[in-house]
Amino acid sequence: MTTTLFTNISELWTMDPLRESEGAKGAGVIRDAALVAENGRVVWVGKAADAPDADAREDLGGRAVLPGWVDSHSHMVFDGDRSAEFEARMAGESYAAGGIQVTTDATRSASDERLSRLLGDRVRAAALGGTTTMETKTGYGLTVEDEVRSAAIARDHVDAVTFLGAHLVPSEFNGEKGSRGTAEDYVDLVVGEMLTQVAPHVDFIDVFCEKGAFDVEQSRRVLDAGKAAGLGVRVHGNQLGESGGVQLAVETGAASVDHVNFLSQADVEALAGTVSRDSDGQVEVDAGEGGARPTGSGPTVATILPACDISTRMPFAPARELLDAGAVVAIASNLNPGTSFTSAMNFCVGTAVLQQHMSLAEALFAATRGGAIALRMADVGHLTVGARADLHVLDAPAAIHLAYRPGMPMTWKVFARGAEVK
């Protein structure tokens, strides 16, 4: 096997899981570092002066290196454009064009080939920005046929797929005369035939537990059915208010609850209470090598979505309170056509530092190891021996430039499994 030495690294953020308790002190940073990869895996990490010989050499020119971003929350299987809706929202005007239903209609009309091409383009754009591990969800089909094909298409492009048939109640289930039924009838469909057919293609199940979408008991039905089908659990919760989504996520052992803009003290304490650490201070999580282990045990991660909060002008999620309480926090893009049309994790991390009172180390951990814990993946989000050789090389000597120079193009090169992304 060919070995490659990545050297002349000014600072290497290993995010070593065995040094999590030192996260705020540097997250396992090695100065003047080097790394050796073989067959897509890290086989050596240390000081450049101590590096072993290798078959090939990549001189990174004194730049900082991070693990590739782990984006644990996105909605990328869609067609259509909602920029007019966004423009109206920014102007403070009402917009009655249908929101998610607009995207649902466009996605249903798109061919498999078009959806696959659009998704592939989005994944590649994210990779060029440093994201080497991605989750995405269904949820813009909302029929059995369209949810199945969305899941199957996603499976070919990303690391983890989530079934979000419970994204909203589609218009054909509005309960009016001539419709297919009520919201309860739609939940019956989601937990019945839709779940049965989608389950072979996905890792997790998710539900939008909010007023105007699905209430707590409807959400519980969805999650319980998914667990019975062998899927891991995720929740969209507490985005618009204290919806009960966080408490439901904790009760059901969800891998993550995402958005978390509005939290009570009880919510914060409940999330912190799901975290167990071993004698080394490492978060205890049953995660998979080479892929997700959706039903593995571990904390319910609080996933914050800074780009979405900016786009919707919502209060930022209280990251500082969550971290101070001991919860595990992840940062994700929430790429979607309505409220966060970006995969720019650099921007999300910079925003978390500048606006959400996270230290650089906390934000980098959240966007790498935090996302990996949320996806129950053991071999991504860190650069230690045995991990995937996913390197995000910044065009800067120090990672703090992500926040110090906001909006600037900070990604120099990206290597996924040891190979340069082009």
Shared domain for 225 and 158, answered yes or no, is yes
394-400 contacts, C-beta under 8 A, 24 or more apart: 394/63, 394/64, 394/65, 394/66, 395/63, 396/63, 396/64, 397/10, 397/11, 397/62, 397/63, 397/64, 398/10, 398/11, 398/64, 399/11, 399/13, 399/64, 399/66, 399/360, 399/364, 400/360
Shared domain for 160 and 201, answered yes or no, is yes
Shared domain for 122 and 58, answered yes or no, is no
Q: Tell me: the pLDDT tens digits for 166-184?
A: 999 998 998 877 778 899 9
Average pLDDT of 133-146? 98
pLDDT value for 175: 80
Shared domain for 317 and 296, answered yes or no, is yes
Average pLDDT of 366-375? 98
| pLDDT reading at 115 higher than 90 | yes
Least confident among 16-30, 112-126, 202-216, 291-305: 16-30
Annotated binding site for Zn(2+): 73, 75, 236, 334
Q: CA angle, 195 as apex, 190 and 199 as ends, to 5°?
A: 155
* More confident position, 280 or 71: 71
pLDDT value for 93: 82
pLDDT value for 100: 85
pLDDT value for 23: 46
Q: Is residue 196 part of a domain?
A: yes
Shared domain for 274 and 198, answered yes or no, is yes
Question: Which one-letter amino acid corresponds to residue 3?
Answer: T
Shared domain for 91 and 73, answered yes or no, is yes
Q: Tell me: the pLDDT tens digits for 12-25?
A: 999 986 655 444 45
Average pLDDT of 236-249? 97
Dihedral-angle region of residue 332 (phi above 0 means left; psi in -120 to 50 means alpha; beta otherwise): beta
Q: How does DSSP classify residue 252?
A: T
First to last CA, the chain: 23
The per-residue pLDDT of the chain, averaged, comes to 95
The most confident of the ranges 2-11, 85-94, 99-108 is 2-11
* More confident position, 96 or 315: 315
How crowded is the C-beta side of 105, counted as CA atoms within 13 Å? Answer: 10
pLDDT value for 299: 98
pLDDT value for 1: 78
CATH number at residue 24: 2.30.40.10
Shared domain for 272 and 391, answered yes or no, is no
Shared domain for 269 and 159, answered yes or no, is yes
pLDDT value for 61: 99
Shared domain for 167 and 261, answered yes or no, is yes
Cα–Cα distance, 296 to 299 (Å, whole number): 10
Shared domain for 55 and 74, answered yes or no, is no
How crowded is the C-beta side of 13, counted as CA atoms within 13 Å? Answer: 33
CATH number at residue 273: 3.20.20.140
Annotated binding site for Fe(3+): 73, 75, 236, 334
**Residue among 387, 372, 264, 364 at smallest CA distance from 322:** 264
Average pLDDT of 48-74? 98
Instruction: Give SS3 for 165.
Output: strand
Shared domain for 94 and 121, answered yes or no, is yes
Alpha helices in 19-111 (DSSP H): 83-90, 100-109
Annotated binding site for 4-imidazolone-5-propanoate: 82, 140, 167, 239, 339
Q: Is residue 300 part of a domain?
A: yes
Annotated binding site: 73, 75, 82, 140, 167, 236, 239, 334, 336, 338-339
| pLDDT reading at 133 higher than 90 | yes
Q: Is residue 379 part of a domain?
A: no
CA torsion through residues 47, 283, 268, 255, sign: positive
Sheet of strand 56-67, all strands in order from the earlier edge strand to the far edge: 41-47, 29-38, 3-13, 56-67, 391-394, 411-416, 419-420
Shared domain for 396 and 319, answered yes or no, is no
Number of domains in the chain: 2
| pLDDT reading at 186 higher than 70 | yes
Write out the H or E segment, with its range, that includes residue 234: strand 232-237
**Residue among 240, 143, 151, 146 at smallest CA distance from 204:** 151
Range of the domain at 153: 69-374
Annotated binding site for N-formimidoyl-L-glutamate: 140, 336, 338
